[in-house]
Amino acid sequence: MTKNICVFASSCNYLDKSYYPIAEELGELLAKSGFNMVYGGSSLGLMWACASKVNENGGKVFGVMPEKLHNMGVSTESCVELTITPCMRTRKAKMDELSDGIVALPGGFGTLEELSEMIVQKQLGYNNKPIVILNTNGFYNKLIEFFEVIISEKFANHKLCENLYYIASTPSEAVNYLKNYDYNNKQDNIEEELLYKR
């Protein structure tokens, strides 16, 4: 069964030029590896750089966009399905519903919020989706360091965080992780771990 990979990414067209080819490479590799893509439905930025290459290489693209952004004219007609939601919260829920895995490309506060929510969903056992942080140009270095502080200071359970997310340096590394991931594995004993074995 074909897996749908949700890609969180910037919708900005004014980033350093080095970011766009990486997003395009990810889209190409996803499609050539048999994955479809779920994303924010935008015709801008890293979002579109990735989605356009999925389209060009035979993959299907599913867009999900809140009504306010859709009314601004930033959506694309290149999606096989474009869902318009009333707000950002329902948008995230729909993207979660449609996807089997997550890749976070560099992005702003919206991408950070989306990534954080999916990490928490997996941490609490609501899903077992692969979560990949594609660390282009070391963009996420400081965030990864902060995650390590959260864990080391015991604001998050170390054992529960061991396999929450995977950090990839290249699109090929990200896609290989998605291809080899055990999508049927379930997280066990979460209640015991959440209580820190008190």
Q: What is the rounded distance in angstroms from the CA atom of residue 13 to the CA atom of residue 97?
A: 28
Which pLDDT score is estimated for 108?
A: 97
Counting Cβ atoms within 10 Å, is residue 180 exposed (0-12), middle (13-18) or buried (19+)? exposed
Which pLDDT score is estimated for 75?
A: 79
pLDDT mean for each 10 residues of the chain (198 residues): 96 97 98 98 95 97 94 84 94 97 98 97 94 98 97 92 95 98 75 50
**CA dist list (Å): 100 to 65, 87, 92, 182, 195:** 19, 22, 14, 11, 28
* Element of type H or E holding 133: strand 131-134
- Domains of the chain and CATH, by start: 4-194 (3.40.50.450)
Which pLDDT score is estimated for 198?
A: 34
Q: What is the rounded distance in angstroms from the CA atom of residue 186 to the CA atom of residue 50?
A: 30
Which pLDDT score is estimated for 191?
A: 56
Alpha-helix residue ranges (DSSP H) falling in the chain = 19-32, 45-56, 67-70, 88-98, 109-123, 141-152, 158-161, 171-180, 190-194
Which pLDDT score is estimated for 101?
A: 98
